[in-house]
């Protein structure tokens, strides 16, 4: 039996506001427990929520970013459940009238195609606190610093058919929200958490199977692995004639398997009802226009522009654009005179390699955009061969100064002086009569191979500084002159 | 409108209320009477009336995104039955 995988994703995105959604507490990550939780966050009796205007603006930005309909009158509801990290006994969320309504998000796939994913809705809600189970023996510890952090929950239709599509969507979403500046998208710190709804159906059937939900997967890699393992589990059950139980599961990365969350076995019954402590939010055309006018250039538009304006390949543009800082770095290099194609190559090649090895982001790159532009300039004007350029890059990385200083200090100037090169070529030819004879006796294809020996010797003699193009021309001419 | 004992047990579980089995028949009976009263609202014709989410005919006022709170942990934890190293302690919960 073959099965088709049907998946929908729910992403909980922490919005990058300074203060919480309903209180004036800080949202900063990493503070000691409970120092950023006030009486509102703790759900003390009589406390009233007051909505943060920036959270509303961020939600509208997201909606406009994916071309979704904005809910003109959106309403908060209470989602009722008991858990120690939710002191009020309900989460303030939006159920009936979300702030962002249906839209379509076009996800760029690796092969260059666009995968349209239907967004069902995105709504504002408050995050819960954190339960800590491993510090205390008999009890669980509760830290409410995160309680009340604004979340945007982004829900899709079941439009994903593979793990690859799901991961591409998450990466594109990550890129979009960081461009919009509405979230830092830091998955390791929980700024972007993903729930995956998975069901299988017979290939060709239009009846949906029973689904399971995998909660709180927090890295691209784990999303991929969790999906693979859950699809395998479900198809094993179905193949052997069993049936799937609708339930919530957790992905255990250590064992690479999903398992049932027993504590949530009591069927979820959240008894949503309108939050009496908050009034409806009304959003008018003028507000939407103002937010729209504040939108930056978004990844899809930037990618198109990089291809048309800088004549980059779509492949290079697709690699440069997703990270906002990388795209900005590239444009800075170009604006400082660096040629576009080499700039893309250096950023995607040596620079990103070095940054990865040093575990640095491009914002803290030891090689500035200006330095890289200088280096590219010296390659373009023939001062540096690509081999020497790598040495200069190393010097830039080590902080040895600007390109010209490093060339002078390390003595890296490429020898493009025909007279000096000719001398080197003559010396090497004179010193290796046997190889010359061999070369002259060989056919053309073999000659090409044999000339490598001479190039190597001359490069060695020039300490790597001979201009390879000139050298080749001179060498072939002089070798042929020997016959 | 009547309500079954099973419904009452389920609602009690969701609300974390303990109802002694011997009290169930009476609670069910009284619960049903409350529902009956509320049910009378269903006789009102609400055709064309937008659902009301709040009795006040106003829209939400928003506050600027500014941090106004500081560390109030000590004061806010004073009434907690159990605490340690800055955490509120609760009976062990494991997923």
pLDDT at A418 over 60: yes
Give the DSSP H/E element, type plus range, for residue A434.
helix A433-441
Mean pLDDT of chain A: 91
Give me the residue spans of the domains in chain B.
Answer: 5-43
Q: How does pLDDT run across A44-65, given as a tens digit for each residue? A: 999 999 999 999 999 999 999 9
More confident position, B55 or A117: A117
Is residue A194 located within the same domain as residue A325?
no
Q: Could you tell me if A393 and A256 lie in one domain?
A: no
Same domain as A181, residue A56: yes
What residues does A215 pair with on adjacent strands?
A250
- CATH, residue A440: 1.10.10.410
Q: What is the pLDDT of residues A16-49, one digit of tens each?
A: 999 999 999 999 999 999 999 999 999 999 999 9
Residues of B in contact with A93 (CB under 8 A): none
Do A431 and A399 lie in one domain? The reply is no
Lowest average pLDDT, out of A91-105, A123-137, A225-239, A399-413, goes to A399-413
Say if the Cβ atoms of A51 and B63 lie within 8 Å.
Answer: yes
Q: Domain range spanning residue A394?
A: 297-410
pLDDT of residue A267: 57
User: What is the pLDDT averaged over residues A297-307?
Assistant: 96
Task: Say yes or no to pLDDT of A111 above 60.
Answer: yes
Q: Same domain, yes or no, for A240 and A357?
A: no
The candidate with the shortest Cα–Cα distance to A191, out of A219, A221, A227, A156, is A219
10 Å Cβ neighbour count for A1?
Answer: 8
Q: What is the pLDDT of residue A266?
A: 56
Question: pLDDT-derived band of residue A422, with 50, 70 and 90 as boundaries?
Answer: confident
Collapse the DSSP code of A192 into the 3-class scheme (helix H, G, I; strand E, B; otherwise coil) and give the result. strand
As a whole number of angstroms, the distance between CA A86 and CA A27 comes to: 17
- Give the integer Cα–Cα distance in Å for A143 and A42: 10
Mean pLDDT over A140-158 rounds to: 97
Task: Tell me, yes or no, whether A340 and A425 share the same domain.
Answer: no
C-beta neighbour count of A256 within 10 angstroms: 12
Question: Which candidate, A102, A79, A223, places its Cα nearest to that of A157?
Answer: A102
List A162's β-bridge partners, or say none.
none
Poorest-confidence range of A263-272, A290-299, A360-369?
A263-272
Contact yes or no for A286/A70 (Cβ under 8 A): no
Region A263-279: mean pLDDT is 79
| A139 touching B (Cβ < 8 Å) | yes
Residues A68 and A125 in one domain: yes
Q: Give B 11-70 residues with CB within 8 A of chain A.
A: 13-14, 16, 53-54, 56, 58-69
Q: Cα-flanking dihedrals φ and ψ of residue A216, to 5°?
A: 55, 55
Residues A262, A377, single domain; the answer is no
Among A15, A35, A287, most B C-beta atoms within 10 A, so best to mutate, is A35
Q: Indicate yes or no: CB of A35 within 8 angstroms of CB of B71.
A: yes
Q: What's the pLDDT at A2?
A: 87
The closest CB to that of B59, out of A39, A276, A280, belongs to A280
| CA geometry: angle A105, A111, A115, nearest 5 deg | 20
Model confidence pLDDT, tens digit, residues A387-405: 889 989 999 999 998 888 8
Residue A267 sits in the same domain as residue A303: no
- Per-residue model confidence as pLDDT tens digits over B35-54: 999 999 889 999 998 888 88
Question: What is the count of structural domains for chain A?
Answer: 3
- Interval A99-105 mean pLDDT: 97
Examine the domain organization and report whether A340 and A260 are in the same domain: no
* Residue range A175-204, pLDDT digits in tens: 999 999 999 999 988 999 999 999 999 888
| Same domain, yes or no: A359 and A426 | no
Return all residues near A326 (Cβ < 8 A) that are at least 6 apart: A320, A347, A352, A362
Q: In terms of domains, do A470 and A391 share one?
A: no
């Amino acid at each position: 039996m073959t099965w088709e995988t049907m998946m929908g994703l729910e992403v909980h995105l922490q919005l990058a506001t300074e203060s919480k959604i309903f209180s004036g507490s800080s949202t900063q990550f990493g503070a000691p427990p409970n120092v950023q939780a006030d009486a509102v966050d703790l759900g003390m009796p009589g406390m009233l929520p007051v909505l943060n205007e920036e959270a509303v603006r961020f939600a509208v930005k997201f909606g406009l970013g994916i071309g979704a309909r904005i809910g003109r009158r959106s309403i908060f509801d209470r989602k009722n459940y008991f858990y120690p990290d939710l002191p009020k006994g309900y989460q303030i969320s939006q159920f009936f009238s979300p702030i962002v309504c249906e839209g379509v998000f076009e996800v760029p796939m690796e092969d260059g195609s666009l995968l349209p994913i239907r967004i069902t809705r995105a709504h504002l809600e408050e995050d819960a606190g954190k339960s800590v189970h491993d510090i205390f023996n008999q009890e669980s510890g509760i830290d409410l610093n995160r309680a009340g952090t604004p979340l945007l929950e982004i829900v899709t239709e079941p439009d994903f058919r593979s793990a690859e599509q799901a991961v591409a969507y998450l990466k594109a979403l990550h890129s979009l929200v960081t461009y919009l500046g509405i979230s830092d998208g830091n998955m390791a710190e929980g700024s972007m958490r993903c729930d995956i709804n998975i069901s299988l159906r017979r290939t060709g059937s239009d009846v949906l199977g029973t689904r399971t939900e995998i909660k709180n997967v927090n890295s691209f890699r784990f999303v991929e692995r969790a999906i693979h393992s859950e699809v395998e589990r479900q198809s094993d059950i179905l193949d052997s004639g069993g049936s799937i139980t609708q339930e919530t599961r957790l992905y255990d990365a250590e064992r690479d398997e999903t398992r049932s969350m027993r504590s949530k076995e009591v069927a979820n019954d959240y008894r949503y009802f309108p939050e009496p402590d908050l009034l409806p939010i009304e959003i008018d055309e003028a507000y939407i226009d103002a937010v729209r006018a504040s939108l930056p250039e978004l990844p899809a538009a930037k990618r198109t522009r990089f291809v048309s304006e800088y004549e980059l390949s779509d492949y290079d543009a697709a690699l440069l654009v997703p990270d906002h800082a990388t795209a900005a770095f590239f444009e800075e290099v170009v604006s400082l005179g660096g040629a576009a194609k080499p700039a893309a190559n250096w950023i995607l090649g040596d620079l990103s390699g070095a940054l990865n090895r040093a575990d640095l982001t491009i914002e803290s790159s030891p090689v500035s955009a200006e330095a890289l532009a200088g280096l590219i300039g010296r390659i373009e004007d023939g001062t540096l061969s690509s081999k020497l350029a790598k040495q200069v890059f190393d010097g830039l990385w080590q902080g040895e100064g600007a390109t010209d200083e490093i060339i002078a200090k390390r003595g890296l100037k490429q020898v493009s002086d025909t007279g000096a090169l000719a001398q080197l070529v003559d010396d090497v030819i004179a010193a290796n009569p046997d190889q010359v004879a061999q070369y002259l006796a060989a056919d053309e294809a073999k000659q090409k191979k044999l000339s490598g020996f001479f190039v190597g010797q001359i490069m060695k003699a020039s300490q790597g500084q001979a201009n390879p193009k000139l050298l080749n021309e001179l060498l072939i001419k002089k070798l042929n002159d020997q016959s | 409108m009547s309500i079954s004992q099973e419904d009452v047990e389920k609602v009690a579980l969701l609300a974390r209320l303990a109802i002694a089995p011997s009290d169930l028949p009476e609670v069910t009976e009284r619960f049903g009477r409350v529902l009956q009263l509320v049910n009378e609202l269903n006789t009102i014709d609400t055709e064309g009336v937008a659902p009301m989410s709040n009795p006040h005919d106003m829209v939400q006022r928003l506050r600027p995104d500014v941090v106004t709170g500081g560390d109030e942990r000590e004061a806010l934890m004073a009434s907690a039955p159990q605490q340690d190293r800055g955490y509120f302690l609760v009976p062990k919960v494991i997923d």
